[in-house]
Amino acid sequence: MIRVKETESIEPICPHCGKQVVEILARRIESMLGVRFVYFCSECKKVLGVSHRKGFWMG
């Protein structure tokens, strides 16, 4: 079983630019399936993830 541990002392690393992700940008996308959000790195602007379900963080 994998446990989830909350941390505020370690910053996640962007898989694209290798920099610490201190801020994630989100952009709203309106589609026929509803509103989605695309999340991207504030450093390199590459996409980290897209929300697939309404109300679900990172789908």
Residues near Zn ion (CB under 5 A) are 14, 16-17, 41, 43-44
What minimum distance in Å lies between the beta carbon of 13 and Zn ion?
Answer: 9
CA distance 39 to 46: 9
Which CB atom, from 36 or from 43, has the smaller least distance to Zn ion?
43
What minimum distance in Å lies between the beta carbon of 56 and Zn ion?
Answer: 23
The DSSP-derived string for 1-57 is -PPP---SSS--B-TTT--B-S-EEEEEEEETTEEEEEEEETTT--EEEE--STT-T
What minimum distance in Å lies between the beta carbon of 37 and Zn ion?
Answer: 17
Which CB atom, from 45 or from 53, has the smaller least distance to Zn ion?
45
